[in-house]
Chains A and B, each alone.
Chain A
Amino acid sequence: MLMEVVELKKNYLSNLSLMRKNTAVVKAVDGVSFSVGRDEVVGIVGESGCGKSTLARQLVRLEVPTAGKIYFEGEDISLLKGTSLKNYIRSCQIIFQDSLSSLNPSLKIGDILKEPLVNHFKLSKQEIHRRIAYMLEKVKLGAGVLERFPQTLSGGELQRVNICRALLLTPRLLICDEIISSLDVSIQASILNLMKELKKEFGMSLIFISHDINVVRFISDRILVMKRGRIVEEIDNKNREYQVRHPYTKKLFQSLPVSHPDKRVV
Chain B
Amino acid sequence: MIGLGFDKFLSRFVKHKAAVLCLFFVLAVIAGGIFAPWLAPNDPNKIELKLKLLGPGGQFPLGTDHLGRCILSRLLYGTRISLGSAFLVMSFSLTIGTAVGIFSAYRGGRIDNLLMRLCDIFLSFPSLVLVLVIIGVLGSGMVNVIIGMILVQWLWYVRIIRSLVLSIKERTFVSAAKVAGTSDMKIIFRHILPNVLPQLIVLSTLDLGSLILHFSGYSFLGFGVQPPTPEWGAMIEEGRRFIRSAPELMFYPGMLITLIVISFNLIGDALRDVLDESVT
Contacts and interface: CB of A to CB of B under 8 A. Distances in A.
Interface of A: 16, 18, 57, 60, 62, 86, 89-90, 93-94, 96, 98, 101-107, 115-116, 119-120, 149-152, 162, 165-166, 169
Contacts of B176: 96, 102-103, 162, 165
B180 A62 contact: no
Interface stretch (B12-20, B90-98, B139-147, B167-175): B167-175
A60 B2 contact: no
Contact of B179 (A16, A93, A98): A93
Contacts of B113: 16, 18
Contact of B195 (A57, A102, A104, A152): A104
6 contacts: A16-B113, A62-B175, A103-B176, A115-B180, A119-B182, A151-B3
Q: Do most interface residues of chain B lie in helix, strand or loop, or is the interface mixed?
A: helix
Contacts of B172: 96, 98, 101-102
A106 to B, nearest CB: 4
Contacts of A16: 113
A93 B3 CA distance: 26
Contacts of A115: 177, 180, 182
Contact of A116 (B173, B175, B180, B183): B180
A10 B106 CA distance: 21
A106 B2 contact: yes
A128 to B, nearest CB: 14
B117 A104 contact: no
A62 B179 contact: yes
Contacts of B195: 104-106
Nearest to A150: B3
B3 A116 contact: no
Contacts of A96: 172, 175-176
Contacts of B241: none
A18 B186 CA distance: 31
Contacts of A166: 179
Contacts of A93: 179
B58 interface: no
A158 to B, nearest CB: 11
Interface in B178-200: 178-183, 186, 190-191, 194-195
B1 interface: yes
Interface of B: 1-3, 113, 117, 171-173, 175-183, 186, 190-191, 194-195
Q: Which of A18, A60, A104, A169 has the largest number of chain B CB atoms within 10 A? A: A104
Nearest to B108: A16
Contacts of B180: 115-116, 119, 165, 169
Contacts of A169: 180-181
B173 A103 contact: yes
Q: Which of A62, A96, A98, A115 has the largest number of chain B CB atoms within 10 A? A: A115
Contacts of B3: 105-106, 149-152
A104 B117 CA distance: 32
Contact of A104 (B181, B183, B191): B191
Contacts of B191: 104
Contacts of B186: 119
Contacts of A98: 172
Contacts of B181: 86, 89-90, 116, 119-120, 169
A60 B179 contact: yes
Contact of B194 (A90, A106, A120): A106
Given A115-B180, A162-B176, A169-B180, 16 more contacts: A18-B117, A62-B179, A89-B178, A89-B181, A101-B172, A103-B173, A103-B176, A106-B1, A106-B195, A119-B180, A119-B183, A149-B3, A150-B3, A151-B3, A165-B180, A166-B179
A101 B117 contact: no
A60 B171 CA distance: 17
B172 to A, nearest CB: 4
A162 B191 CA distance: 16
Contact of A101 (B171, B177, B182, B190): B171
B181 to A, nearest CB: 4
Contacts of A102: 172-173, 175-176
B206 to A, nearest CB: 22
B106 to A, nearest CB: 15
A251 B180 CA distance: 38
A98 B171 CA distance: 10
A217 B176 CA distance: 27
Nearest to B173: A104
